[in-house]
């Protein structure tokens, strides 16, 4: 790509690789997921309707903070660009946003169920649950407002009747968190087949968060799943 810095080109490559990894990890189907990364002057976001196995770095759309955007011919921003933009504007500590429709997260989201403190790993989301934002139609400001509110004190949330959002200080961490939350959702779903599970008390999750300190923000050498 001419006229593009090596840093920006690497961000574009990383987004394409992460999209394909979402499929390989089984946390997304088709082109329903989308990814954004903060860059100078705005963000890179995946294009709308572009198959991941056909996506190239030049297909990634650059969006400014005012919502205007630049793209190569035939590409437009993901239909979910609004909550990517608003989350990155609202949370300066976040540099990447991953949205997907993993099966178990989506099952719980359809039921409007947050994931409670069934396991100490719930703390990876920043608190004692993974909240579920109320339903709003995809691509709307209402959905964006609901997502930003749900993420006020959290790193991940479910979207009612929709899917999952995971955030991170960089793309690898956001994708790692998406896998962790889907693992928690699967565990919770399994528990519900037997009955309502006992939950860890808030004081225990607070203790875990204190013990971990910056655990949730530390770099990891690779994507991990519980």
Residues of the chain with pLDDT under 70: 1-3, 214-226
Task: Look at residue 213 in the predicted model and tell me its pLDDT.
Answer: 80
pLDDT at residue 4 in the model? 74
pLDDT at position 118: 98
Examine the residue annotation and report whether 80 is marked as an active-site residue of this protein: yes
Indicate the pTM of the whole model.
0.92
Residue in 40, 80, 182, 204 annotated catalytic: 80
Burial of 128 (0-12, 13-18, 19+ CB in 10 A): buried
Q: What backbone torsions phi and psi does residue 67 show, to the nearest 5 degrees? A: 90, -5
**What architecture does CATH give domain 6-215?**
3-Layer(aba) Sandwich (3.40)
Strand 156-159 and strand 132-133: pairing?
A: parallel
């Amino acid at each position: 790509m001419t006229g593009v810095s090596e840093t920006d080109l690497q961000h574009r490559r990383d987004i394409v690789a992460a999209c394909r990894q979402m499929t390989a990890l089984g946390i997304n189907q088709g082109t329903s997921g989308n990814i954004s990364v903060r860059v100078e002057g705005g963000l890179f976001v995946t294009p709308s309707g572009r198959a991941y196995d056909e996506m190239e770095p030049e297909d990634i759309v650059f969006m400014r903070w005012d919502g205007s955007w630049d793209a190569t011919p035939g590409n437009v921003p993901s239909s979910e660009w609004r909550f990517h933009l608003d989350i990155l504007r609202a949370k300066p500590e976040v540099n990447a946003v991953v949205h997907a429709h993993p099966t178990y997260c989506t099952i719980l989201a359809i039921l409007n169920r947050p994931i409670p403190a069934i396991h100490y790993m719930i703390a990876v989301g920043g608190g004692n649950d993974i909240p579920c934002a109320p339903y709003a139609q995809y691509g709307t400001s209402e959905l964006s407002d609901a997502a930003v509110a749900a993420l006020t004190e959290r790193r991940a949330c479910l979207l009612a009747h929709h899917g999952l959002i995971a955030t991170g200080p960089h793309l690898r961490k956001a994708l790692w968190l998406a896998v962790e939350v889907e693992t928690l959702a699967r565990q919770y779903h399994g528990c519900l087949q037997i009955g309502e599970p006992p939950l860890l008390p808030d004081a225990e999750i607070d203790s875990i968060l204190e013990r971990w300190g910056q655990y949730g923000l530390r770099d990891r050498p690779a994507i991990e799943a519980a």
